[in-house]
Amino acid sequence: MASSSLSLFFLFSLLSPILIASSPVQDPELVVQEVHRSINESRRNLGYLSCGSGNPIDDCWRCDANWEKNRQSLADCAIGFGKNAIGGKNGKIYVVTDSSDDDVVNPKPGTLRYAVIQDEPLWIIFARDMVIKLKEELIMNSFKTIDGRGASVHIAGGPCITIQYVTNIIIHGLNIHDCKQGGNTNVRDSPSHYGFRTISDGDGVSIFGGSHIWVDHCSLSNCHDGLIDAIHGSTAITISNNYMTHHDKVMLLGHSDSYTQDKNMQVTIAFNHFGEGLVQRMPR
């Protein structure tokens, strides 16, 4: 996955959707065509006084003046290989009211950590602007959306987001920065289980054996390791509309050429801004 020819391919086509293609989607070319079709469609609808931006993801929900009442329709707006990530669609809305993260084994109701470990689908929103300095990695359970729209939410200054062996995650509209390593301690990952975590990489968003993942409209900067890393059999991922700055190893898709399962990795990288102060892996 880390071949240099692929890296060059990425570098030369920053603005167009980019696909890494192999199974498990039987015909990845169809996915590519569908992405181009949706972009063409959005561009065709551009016009004087139209709300359209030409970006099919944004036009899908921003043109709805009532988007705040219809938050879950965001789940239908992804394009590319992560398109089927439904996140917490059809689940309850959970409002984060408490920015603390004092107890990572028995998190308090109202905190972000309490929400993401639940077994049921949840659409997680924020009561107000907040800075959440996590004490340990935020280990997500399946079928969750973290929806930062309408508030200024920073996940910063501590360990950040870990998506490990779970599916159907949408992360939208968060500022993720200054992420640190965590670990050497117990962290809860579901209502019925917590486990010992070794030292973490210190990524902004770490996807490990995860599938049906969509990371959209986040700003990411200045983390200890990667801003967004997808490894160990992760696939069916879309990374779109993100703003990345001030960072060394930006994005890693597959950590080792000898990890053959990652030959199947399918990721769409579209409409991201690779901004100032980035050094390498855009992506690798």
Contacting residues toward ligand NAG, per CB under 6 A: 33, 36-37, 40
Residue 188 annotated as catalytic? no
What is the residue type of 75?
A: A
Query: By CB neighbour count within 10 A (0-12 exposed, 13-18 middle, 19+ buried), where does 112 fall?
Result: buried
The least CB distance from residue 33 to ligand NAG, in Å, is 5
d(CA 121, CA 127): 19
Q: Which residues pair with 170 in a beta bridge?
A: 145, 214
Q: Side-chain half-sphere of 42: how many Cα atoms within 13 Å? A: 20
Q: Which residue is nearest to ligand NAG (CB)?
A: 40
The least CB distance from residue 25 to ligand NAG, in Å, is 17
**Between 37 and 92, whose beta carbon lies closer to ligand NAG?**
37
Catalytic, out of 71, 113, 197, 281: 281
**Between 39 and 169, whose beta carbon lies closer to ligand NAG?**
39
Radius of gyration of the chain (CA): 18
**Between 40 and 90, whose beta carbon lies closer to ligand NAG?**
40
DSSP reduced 3-state for 176:
strand
8 Å CB contact between 78 and 237? no
Residue 119's region, left for phi above 0, alpha for psi from -120 to 50, else beta, is alpha
**Between 37 and 273, whose beta carbon lies closer to ligand NAG?**
37
d(CA 217, CA 61): 13
**Between 234 and 240, whose beta carbon lies closer to ligand NAG?**
240
d(CA 32, CA 191): 39
The least CB distance from residue 21 to ligand NAG, in Å, is 16
The least CB distance from residue 84 to ligand NAG, in Å, is 19
The least CB distance from residue 27 to ligand NAG, in Å, is 14
8 Å CB contact between 250 and 278? yes
Positions marked catalytic: 281
